[in-house]
Structure formats: structure tokens, C-alpha cells
Amino acid sequence: MSPAEVVDFEPPYLFPEYRSTVLRAPHRPLVRLPEEWFHRGPGPAFGRIPVSPDDADLTRQHKGEPLGERIILAGRVVDEDGAPVRDTLVEVWQANAAGRYADPADDHLAPLDPNFTGAGRCRTDSDGRYRFVTIKPGAYPWQNHENAWRPAHVHFSLFGPQLSGRLVTQMYFPGDPLMRLDPILNSIPDARGRQLLVASFDIASTTPGWALAYRWDIVIRGRRATPLER
Amino acid sequence: MSERPRPTPSQTVGPFFGFALPFTGDVDAVRPDGTGTLRIEGQVLDGAGEPVPDSLVEVWHASQFARCRTDVEGAFHFNLAKPAALRLLDGRVRAPHMNVTVFARGLLRHLETFLYFPDESEANSTDPVLELLEPNLRATLIARPDGQVLRFDIRLQGESETAFFAL
């Protein structure tokens, strides 16, 4: 894979259609370091970040049930060799069903839900799998341009086992007509790259009579997370 | 033969992560009152020199990890311990440093840089990463003493832009 191809699957720093990039994108190109120095080095020790088993169910963090469409959001985290990334931290955060974040900085005139915070954590299992129960987030308006709306999305943060694996991104829902209009998603030049951020509806993982399910697999940069031999 | 899977692309951390990513004690990579604990203070600034109030900065090295969301002044702080020098596979020695990762609204991908210590001028002078940089860029990575703390500002863009690295 040529470096140019890799770049097309990643957003640039400067993407003027997303206005906030204009004063925040570095002007100087990133300094390249010899690969053998760092890329295979271990990543951050995230073990201090607290995770309890309850953190993976965002619908049970308060006394009552949150409003909205209950969903199961699950998938597998692998490295570039397709090997499972085990026991790695996955953090998620999102708006509620009305499109409002439980964040003091969010002034969107949509209701907060006293039964929904919208933040969760879990660690992947021995096969690299994660699973959250949550509420399908709503779309919401933002100030980027005239009549701008963010498509429904869930934010993800992952560490991965290696220095190059740190990933913060957003997952989108299939069929959302707002995706086509969203400068943040469309900052990724290659349509195949954008598609990697869209979950699949997963009828097999639904819980009949209780929750729909979406599957979203994640590929962390880096290789040989599990050495073949010592 | 199947194609190697492509890494999942990055997207911005967005402005609304402050209710989710901070955790109790997040700024303390080591005990804040411990012997040898250093307090780092800095600001994240944009290309107009304005504070970036919706940024998340992480510092880490070996077993140390800390995270700080910037405040309305774009300010962050950490308590950490200066790590040991690090020998690379090729035998060269990196001066003591912390890895620094910056996320923010408006950053579609995070930025990686390094924090070096001002009392390590000898080790800094032969550090293979610092050696790659012009002197003015090198200076952006070395914290400076400021009373009881070390000051380390992160300038995302502009004349005194911090050196950022592709990792």
C-alpha cells in the first residue's frame, strides 16, 4: 500500500469546509521519524482509567430507563494483521435520543434525559470483542454553516497495544441521509474510508422484543500485536 | 488471499467530550505530593494565538499516563515524574521525555509531540529526535522553568508552531 493510499483513508488536518480546522491545523508537515524507532513501541498505559462491568450498559446508569431506541452496539477490534486486539480500553460517548449531549458546553435546545448520560467504557475480550448497550443518538444542528446538522454518531476512543494505535473517531449509522452533507465525515477523501466508519445493521445480534443491534469492527494501526514467538 | 484490513480512519474528538473522558485523578501520572513530582502547566493555542478551550491533552511514558481537558483559558496541567533516558534499538539514547497527544475540536486527527526537560541540556543535545529539528523547532519541545512549575505550551499553528510528529 503506498503512503498516498493511506492518506486518502485519513482526513487531512486542514479541511476548510469544517471551519474549526482553519486556525487549528498545523501549517508545517509532520516530522517523520524512522519507523524502527517507535512504531512498534508500546502504547500508553491506560490502566488507571477506571472501568467497571456496568460501564458498558449506558441504559442502566440512572434510576429510570432512558428515552429512545435501545440498541446493542458491538464489534471486534483487530490490528492490521487481522489479529484480535485483546483487553484494550474502548471509551464511547454520544448525544441522547433528542440529539443533546449531557455536557454543559452543549446549548442545543433539545431536552436532556435525566436517565441518560451517554458515556461508557469497556475492555475488549480475548477475541478483541466489545459490546455496549445504549440508545440510538439523535442528529443535532451545529454552527459550521447554514442549516448544518451532524448525522447521528457515537464517538469512540481506543488505545491499542502500540504507540501508533491511538484512535479517536466517530461511528455512523447506515442509511443516514445527513452523512452525505457532513463535512466532518466527508473530510475523508476516499469513499471506502468513509464507509469504514459506518456500522452495519445486524439482525443476528438483536435481542428479540428488546433491542436492535449494530455491528462495527475497528482496525487499529499497527501489526504483530501478538508475537509469534519470543 | 485476502487484503490486509485498512486502519479505521480518525475523526475529531469534537467539542462535547468533557462529560465523558475526564476521570478522577486524571491529571496525576504520579502522586501529586510525591517526592520528585513535577507539575507541568501549559496552554493549547490556535493560529491566532487564542486559547483552545475544547482540547484534550494526554501525556504518557512507560507506566505513567495522565489526561487533562483544557479549561476556558486553554490551560492544562499535569503531575508527573521525569522518566529515565531511553535506549533505542540501534543503541542511541533518547533524553528523558514524555509522549504528548493532543485532541481538539477542529483536529480531524490527533497530534503527537514530545515534552523534554530543561535540566537535561546535555542529554537533550544528543537526543536523536531533537537532533532532527532546526533549533527554533527544538525549542518548542523543551519545557521551561516558571517558578515552581514547568511551562509547556502547545501551539497548533503559526510562527512558533510546536513540532508535531508522524508516528
Q: Where are the domains of chain B?
A: 37-155
Per residue of chain A (230 residues), give pLDDT as tens: 445 445 589 999 999 999 999 999 999 999 998 876 765 677 888 989 999 989 999 999 999 999 999 999 999 999 999 999 999 999 999 999 999 999 999 999 999 999 999 999 999 999 999 999 999 999 999 999 999 999 999 999 999 888 889 999 999 999 999 999 999 999 999 999 999 999 999 999 999 999 999 999 999 998 764 443 33
Q: How many CB atoms lie within 10 A of CB A8?
A: 17
**B98/B116 Cα distance (integer angstroms):** 7
In this complex, is the C-beta atom of A139 within 8 Å of any C-beta atom belonging to chain B?
no
In this complex, is the C-beta atom of B140 within 8 Å of any C-beta atom belonging to chain A?
no
The predicted structure's pLDDT at residue B86: 87
Test the A interface: residue of B1, B4, B11, B140 with most A CBs within 10 Å = B11
**B38/B144 Cα distance (integer angstroms):** 12
Q: Give the predicted TM-score (pTM) of the model.
A: 0.95
Is residue A155 among the annotated active site residues?
Answer: yes
For residue A145, give how far its alpha carbon lies from the nearest alpha carbon of chain B (Å).
14
Q: Which of B38, B30, B74 is nearest to B148 (CA)?
A: B38
Q: Read out DSSP for B85-125?
A: PEE-TTS-EEPSEEEEEEEETT-SS-EEEEEE-TT-HHHHH
**B85/B83 Cα distance (integer angstroms):** 7
Q: What is the ipTM of this complex?
A: 0.96
Residues from chain B contacting residue A38 (CB–CB below 8 Å): 167
- Provide the total of helices (H) and of strands (E) in chain B, helices listed first: 3, 12
Q: What DSSP designation does A144 have? A: S
Specify the CATH number for B37-155; select among 1.20.58.760, 1.10.1060.10, 2.60.130.10, 1.10.390.10: 2.60.130.10
Q: Which residues pair with A148 in a beta bridge?
A: A142
Q: Which of A6, A16, A5, A17 is nearest to A180 (CA)?
A: A17
For residue A79, give the C-alpha cell.
490490528
In this complex, is the C-beta atom of B72 within 8 Å of any C-beta atom belonging to chain A?
no
Which CATH architecture best describes the domain A51-220?
Sandwich (2.60)
Is residue A223 among the annotated active site residues?
Answer: no
**A91/A155 Cα distance (integer angstroms):** 8
> SS3 breakdown of chain A: % helix, strand, coil, rounded to 5?
15, 30, 55
- A166/B107 Cβ within 8 A: no
